[in-house]
Amino acid sequence: MPIMTFAEALRNALYIEMKKDPKVILLGEDIGVLGNVFGVTKGFLDEFGCKRVRSTPISEAAITGAAIGAAMLGMHPVAEIMYVDFTTMAMDQIINQAAKMRYMSAGKVKVPMVLRTQGGAGSGEAAQHCQSLESLFIHVPGLKVVMPSNPYDAKGLLLSAIRDENPVIFIEHKLLYPIKGEVPEEEYTIPLGKAEIKKEGNDLTIVATSYMLQKVLNTLPVLDNEGIYPEVIDPRTLSPLDTETIFQSIQKTHHLLVVQESSAPASFAAELLAVVSENLFDYLDAPPRRLCGLSVPIPYNKKLEDASIPNEKDIINIIKDIL
């Protein structure tokens, strides 16, 4: 099976869908000649032309608004916002327009668009380019929120997102782009709203999102040596959330840890702990816990940035504390 980076897997998915469906168009800053900051759309301008690959002015509101309008007229736009931090400039378009149109028109108007963006810290780009804002979007009914953790899932989830009839916020952690993995050349999809058990175990259920999933997997050899066998779940889609897979795991392990890079207040982890406490309280042998980023703006200083994000040592320590 071919080996692809996370960025190459995304590019492969876009290429497949652009070749297959003439209604798929791309919009975003520097996606044409430059081919996106990480090369995800490199060569697409020559292959598909400027009518389908549109480099836009620096206006996130205009990019998102144009994508919504195109989607309402039957196209399948994939809009790119260079950093998730910049989606705040397009919140009216995302929250008040894209998420609402299908409901307010009684299903007569659909908005089948994908908004790709990259988030997360670790690159030294500081407070305005390294945030984790997924929790803003899972709060909004009408949006689907996807956060892949590896190249295989990135391709399958992006193809599903493009073919979905609803607006999908597709958030890619910037540290994942160079990560390599096996990715089939042929077309395949991964259903939105379906979690995956990355590693089976009986001692503890760990739900980890995006790049944090990679850090949790890094701790497994250490935990194995100490006789600790967690079950690791990647939700892949944060909204809608596959609670069935998570609940079944907790009923087996009787413990829960949620690991995310975002800060804790009003976050995905906070919501999952609330849902589990409401529905599985009698199954828990200990309080459900969360390991999150610190509630601070992401620092520019490398040591401070590292200190603000959960690492492998933090994960191991909290697991031992829970058990």
Burial status of residue 230 (CB atoms within 10 A of its CB: 0-12, 13-18, 19 or more): buried
Domain with CATH 3.40.50.920 in the chain: 196-322
Which of 8, 76, 129, 261 is catalytic? The answer is 129
Pairing mode, strands 53-55 and 24-28: parallel
What's the pTM value of the predicted model, to 2 decimals? 0.96
> Closest Cα to residue 41, out of 54, 51, 58?
54
Which of 8, 17, 29, 60 is catalytic? The answer is 60
Tokens for 257, please give them.
């840890």
Domain with CATH 3.40.50.970 in the chain: 3-182
The arrangement of secondary structure in 3-182, i.e. its CATH architecture, is 3-Layer(aba) Sandwich (3.40)
**Full pLDDT tens readout for the chain, 323 residues:** 899 999 999 999 999 999 999 999 999 999 988 888 888 999 999 999 999 999 999 999 999 999 999 999 999 999 999 999 999 999 999 999 999 999 999 999 999 999 999 999 999 999 999 999 999 999 999 999 999 999 999 999 999 999 999 999 999 999 999 999 999 999 999 999 999 999 999 999 999 999 999 999 999 999 999 999 999 999 999 999 999 999 999 999 999 999 999 999 999 999 999 999 999 999 999 999 999 999 999 999 999 999 999 999 999 999 999 99
Q: Is 60 among the residues known to form the active site?
A: yes
The CATH number of the domain covering residues in 196-322 = 3.40.50.920
Q: Is 231 among the residues known to form the active site?
A: no
